[in-house]
Amino acid sequence: MPHMRPIAAISILAIALTTFAAAPAGAAPDGDAAAEHEYVVLFTEDATSSEAHAAIEAAGGSIVSENTAVGVATVIAGADFATAADTQAVIEGTARNRVIGDVPDDRAAGGEARKADNAELDVKEGAEAPAESAERRGGGTDVTAEPLAELQWDMQQIGATADGSYSKEQGSHKVRVGIIDTGVDGTHPDIAPNFDAELSRNFTVDIPVDANGDPVDGPCEEEADQSCEDPADVDENGHGTHVASTIGSPINGIGIAGVAPQVSLVNLRAGQDSGYFFLQASVDALTYAGDNGIDVVNMSYYVDPWLFNCVDHPADSPEDQAEQQTVIAAMQRALDYARGHNVTLVAAAGNGATDYTKVISDAGSPDFASEPGEIAYLRDMLDPESCTSMPSEGKGVISVSSTGVSERKAYYSDYGNGYVDVAAPGGDVYDTPEGTRDVSKGILAAYPQSLAEANGEIDENGDPTVDYVVKSCDESGETCAYYQYLQGTSMASPHAVGVAALIVSRLGLPDWRQGGKFFPPAAVEALMKVSADRTACPVPADFVYTRNLPNGTVVTATHTCEGSRWSNGFYGKGIVNAYRAVGGR
């Protein structure tokens, strides 16, 4: 059986971690100082190509790849490269393009390094086989509603239904939506009709094992395609496929429909099977989007290894501070480049259940070790003015919080007045009258069959064996597809992306440079916000979440909503509304 990664959490790290011993701030990692490493180098904006190349050579490095659009290069060099690079005037900063070295036992899951998100994993915890086969079949050729539409409470919440936005605007194939994620299964029956294989790209390479030989992404020969350099229509994690489906699954008589069921879906893979997203791949995906007429991108992740990039936090060594400054600068430059080329940027707010506008702690960064013995350490009292999570806090990025079926802010969703721009359904399996777990309160979207098979979630007859997986077949019964329930701001963001794509489809101008359509990102953002359903803070504003976990444990948490009905920390300008965004009332 191919080695398949479990669903990885890539919105915001929210692992239930034990307390780690703090690593000395300036401690040098174990390992051979002469060993070569990969670095991402950011050049000054006025540096010429010849000056940049000369500086790298003078610092003892050699260029592996270069992104001239934003002045970033991946370099191979020794451990002292960063110090040498500091002496070069045209080098603005460096960051380790880290290869995972060692993951401490208390952070390993099943012996594997992975980035996990308890918001999404909550959907699968304690899952049992359903009493009846979770299979639904299409009832005819009527395409006004898909077979699983009744399970899509999320689309009902934002008016993306047969008698809502679908009746006025389903999107245009000329509008291209980029999914910067773990990949997209371009062969999935509910994605294939809208999948743009020609434009899709893979910007990352999987890491089979860490420095100790323990699995990270797994052996290349055990992958479905027997390669760590996956083609651009593959998703061996499942996260990116779910996101793409929510945005643009077609109305085709099988499964579900996305928010914008006729837009083109472009896979811009920057995340590994294990769920890690590194700087160079993120920068490359964004600049590619700008150069190739992508209209909207979804970014349901943060750039590893730092959840918050702080420019001067005292717990960090000078080297780590410099690295984080480079991440902020390089990502912002790439975001600016994409937005300057008419790409609307949308990102998940995160699943840490914290207020990003307040002083915060971070016990999960760096979220992997680059050398044996290196571990995460507690960074307390992070100042929101000097610490930035990328890309969700990047300038020009629309940050999306998550709602449950009752329209309450989801228990896991990050928030903050001035941080959240809009809200969208992302699922909340505890949004029930009793606060008990119900997987159907998650978000249902496409799931690669290969993953369902590898994870034992369907039997030899192709029927689901767990309650979070649903099967749907067309009227003939010959074509079937699988869907899974997930929750997270990762699932909220693509709903907002779908609304943005509808706006571009309806109002976009001809793109004479790249073909298709375009509409200024500032105008897309303004229309998304003005058409959102204004949602006030709860009363009282100190909202108490109560979750009755399957193991009998009762968990409570209080989140405080600040702001007015017109703009607040839970919902921003409101919950996005697809129907109103395309002229409905």
Reported as a single tens digit per residue, the pLDDT across 99-115 is 543 333 443 333 334 45
Q: What confidence category does residue 37 fall into, taking pLDDT thresholds of 50, 70 and 90?
A: confident
Q: What confidence category does residue 537 fall into, taking pLDDT thresholds of 50, 70 and 90?
A: very high
Going by C-beta distance under 8 Å and a sequence separation of 6 or more, which residues neighbour residue 52? 43, 71, 73, 90, 91
User: At 567, which CATH number?
Assistant: 3.40.50.200
User: Residues 128-174: pLDDT tens digits?
Assistant: 433 333 443 333 334 468 999 999 999 999 999 999 999 999 999 99
- Report yes or no on 523 lying in a domain: yes
Question: CA 289, CA 346: separation in Å to the nearest integer?
Answer: 13
DSSP state of 441: G
- Report yes or no on 403 lying in a domain: yes
Beta strand 344-348 pairing with 296-299: parallel
Amino acid 275: pLDDT: 87
User: Residues 480-502: pLDDT tens digits?
Assistant: 999 999 999 999 999 999 999 99
Amino acid 137: pLDDT: 36
Amino acid 115: pLDDT: 59
Average pLDDT, the chain: 86
Amino acid 6: pLDDT: 26
Residue of 352, 346, 246, 265 lying closest to 308 (CA atoms):
352
User: Residues 345-404: pLDDT tens digits?
Assistant: 999 999 999 999 999 998 888 876 656 656 677 889 899 999 999 999 999 999 999 999
Query: Which pairs with CB-CB distance under 8 Å and at least 24 residues apart come from 509-512?
Result: 511/293, 511/342
pLDDT over threshold 60, residue 248? yes
Per-residue b/e over 286-322, b at no fewer than 16 CB within 10 Å?
bbbbbebbbbbbbbbbbbbbbbbbbbebebbeebbbb
- Report yes or no on 90 lying in a domain: no
* Average pLDDT, integer, range 313-325: 92
Amino acid 371: pLDDT: 62
Per-residue b/e over 165-187, b at no fewer than 16 CB within 10 Å?
bbebbbbbebbbbbbbbbbbbbe
**What phi, psi does 120 have (nearest 5°)?**
-80, -40
Helix, strand, or coil here: 346? Answer: strand
DSSP state of 506: H
- Report yes or no on 139 lying in a domain: yes
User: Residues 298-311: pLDDT tens digits?
Assistant: 999 999 989 999 99
Amino acid 2: pLDDT: 30
* E strand intervals along 451-520: 469-473, 480-486, 509-510, 517-518
- Report yes or no on 53 lying in a domain: no
Query: Which pairs with CB-CB distance under 8 Å and at least 24 residues apart come from 316-321?
Result: 316/25, 316/379, 317/25, 317/26, 317/27, 318/26, 319/26, 319/82, 320/366
Q: What confidence category does residue 98 fall into, taking pLDDT thresholds of 50, 70 and 90?
A: low
pLDDT over threshold 60, residue 329? yes
- Report yes or no on 59 lying in a domain: no
Q: Is 81 exposed, middle or buried (0-12, 13-18, 19+ CB in 10 A)?
A: buried
Domain of 232?
97-581
> With pLDDT > 70 as the criterion, what percentage of the chain qualifies?
84
pLDDT over threshold 80, residue 293? yes
Q: Is 553 exposed, middle or buried (0-12, 13-18, 19+ CB in 10 A)?
A: exposed
pLDDT over threshold 60, residue 240? yes
Residue of 300, 272, 23, 259 lying closest to 164 (CA atoms):
259
Amino acid 273: pLDDT: 87
Distance, C-alpha 293 to centroid of its chain: 21
- Report yes or no on 18 lying in a domain: no
Question: CA 569, CA 417: separation in Å to the nearest integer?
Answer: 4
Task: Quote the tokens at residue 258.
Answer: 């996305």
Helix, strand, or coil here: 117? Answer: coil
- Report yes or no on 461 lying in a domain: yes
Query: Torsion angle, CA of 188/350/577/167, rounded to 10 degrees?
Result: 0
Amino acid 8: pLDDT: 31
**58-72, 222-236, 498-512 — which is least confidently predicted?**
222-236
User: Residues 466-480: pLDDT tens digits?
Assistant: 999 999 999 999 999
DSSP for 235-279? -SSSHHHHHHHHHH---SSSS---SSTTSEEEEEE-B-TTS-B-H
Task: Give the count of domains, the chain.
Answer: 1
Beta strand 36-43 pairing with 72-78: antiparallel
Amino acid 369: pLDDT: 60
Question: CA 29, CA 32: separation in Å to the nearest integer?
Answer: 9
Question: CA 338, CA 514: separation in Å to the nearest integer?
Answer: 14
Distance, C-alpha 263 to centroid of its chain: 20
Residue holding tokens 């990762």? 490
